[in-house]
Each structure stands twice: as structure tokens, then as C-alpha cells.
Amino acid sequence: MSFRPFLFVWTIVTLYLVIMGEASTPSYIKYTTVTGFFLQDEPSTNPGSFDYTAVNFGLIDRPYDTDGEYDPRAEKTQWQRFEHQVFRYNRQSGRNVQYKVIFMGRHGEGYHNVAESFYGTPAWNCYWSEKDGNGTVTWADAHITEAGVKQAQKGNAFWAKELTEQKPQGHAGQSLTIELDRCLSTANITFSGLHLPSKRPFVPEVKELLREAIGIHTCDRRSSKTYIHHTYPTYTFEAGFAENDPLWRPDLRETDPATEARLKTLLDDVFSHDDSTYISFTSHSGAIAAALRAISHRPFSLVTGAVIPVLIKAETVQGSPPSISIPASTGAPSCTANPTPSPTS
């Protein structure tokens, strides 16, 4: 009899340890691209000549498994039927699996893009990218050019057309944007004035990690939180967003594997805390390329102002994540030729 209280207490302690052990079991999110829905997934699609506005965002014209139950009279649009297919995926998936559609849009042409084209990539990387400008044009936290404005306006017109003709219920969902001005401006022009559902107004959240490779290039050094709020007063900020850029350094630049790891962290945050099935990113070529690598998507380079939608499967896996090697940040490359040649007569 004297052992019973001890056994009871030991049972409770053992149960607590088991529960705590289960709660502390490591896990990670594994991402894969669900192919067969977008032309951008297909190896035969050429990124250099692809125009998302000419082909319904790239959504492939095809039947779905759920058409019989959802659209027996063939009255729904392609996007409506696709949305129902995604809805069914989420409804039938286990508790550790979820699906989201992310529209990854590259900002419109910026003054830094013009400068790199003018000076050439080698001279840009070894010299000009470290400057705030050239005395005529400023590209620190680069703004978009008139051509970039037109690219964003083209996106706005296409979104308006899609909302009217395709009548989607979800794919103008949560909007996330990077804090660099060219992305903030592109998102503002692209989504302002659209007839969005009242439950999903255009109120983008500014995210620190959704940015280009960090360091050295002044075009990738963000302005202050005060400037962003003053210029884009309707935008919101993620929790803990700092007043000044805490990540950019003038002497070191992030490597590609480090950028991919950072974008994976961003995706983990989005998939863990955002209930939206449809999300829009307004970001950069390098950041989008890193995100595509993180979800095992084929490489697909975007021209300025372009968009790529992807259907992503996220599975929470028990255990430790695969180990990865992330090279240290690097300095600027050395110039092999004079980046500031004298004008020729």
C-alpha cells in the first residue's frame, strides 16, 4: 500500500515526460511544387519569351478530377475550377499537409537595372553597385523607372481583366511585399483600384526576409521604416520590423545558398502563420529564384514586372531537417578592367 502513492506520482511524471518529449520532437516543413497546372512548370516553356498576361497567368487549360462534382454543366471558368481543385486538396490532406498558391511577382524595372545594363554586369558588380548613384541617377534603394511604372500598370490591367472574366474567389488573397521601394511601388500600382472582395482588401504586409541578396549593393539597402510608412501609409509591417535596415552590410554579400535558406525561413513563417490559400509576393529576381529552389521548382527567370504562380505542397515532417552547407558571405569581386573609362573622342 505504501508504494501506491509513489507509483501514482511516477505514472504522472512519466506521462508528463512522454508528452513533453512528443511536444519537443523536432520537425521541419518539406516543400514541393505540384506540377501539371502551370505552363511555367513545364520544361518546354521558355522563360525568356513567356508573357503571363497572354496565357491566363500560365494556367493550363485542362480538366480536373473535381470537375464532375463542382462543374457538371461546364459553366465555371478555368480559375474557378482550379481553385476548387486546390480546395479539395486541402480538404482531403492530412493534418501535416497543406497547399497554397503563391503568385511571385518581380518588381518593375528600376534605375539600378538601367545602370547595370549601361555599365555592364562586371563593372556593376565590382564598382558601381557600391555607389549610391553616378551623379545623374540615384539607385540606392532604387525606385522604378517610367518603364517600370508601365510594367506595373500592365499587371494592374491584367489583374482587373482576370477578376472580371475568370471570377476567381481566392487568388487575390494576402499580399506580402519586400521593403525596398521598387517592390512597394510595384505592388501599389499593380493592386490599387482593383475590385477586390471586401474580406480581402489590398493591405500588404511588409516583410524583412522577402528581399534580394543582402549586402554591398546599395540598391538592396532599404530605407527607414518611417520613410516606408510615410510613403505607403496603408501598408502594414510584420511584428518586430526595425526602424533601420538591420541586415545590409557594405562589405559583405549574401551567397545564393544563404539566400535560399532565408527564403525557406520566410516560407516556413508564411505556411505556419498565414491561413490564406492564395498569397502574392512582390519581390526580386534573386529572391524569387531562391524561393523556387526552396520548393524544388524548375529554374524560371523573370523579366522585370513578370509574375509566376506556383502550387506548393507543404508537408510537416517529423525529425531533423536535412543538413545543408551555407558558404559565408563574400566581398565584392575585383575589377578586371577599368569600370570608369574615359570617354573616347
List the catalytic residues.
107, 212
d(CA 82, CA 37): 8
- Site of grid cell 529552389: 293
User: 157-162, long-range: CB within 8 Å, 24+ apart, which pairs?
Assistant: 158/52, 158/53, 159/190, 159/191, 159/194, 160/193, 160/194, 160/195, 162/56, 162/57, 162/79
Q: How far is CA 50 from the centre of its chain?
A: 19
How large is the greatest C-alpha to C-alpha distance in the chain, in angstroms? 106
d(CA 151, CA 156): 9
* CA proximity to 91, closest of 65, 62, 60, 130: 65
d(CA 65, CA 71): 11
**Angle (nearest 5°) at CA 186 between 180 and 191:** 130
**Angle (nearest 5°) at CA 139 between 135 and 143:** 125
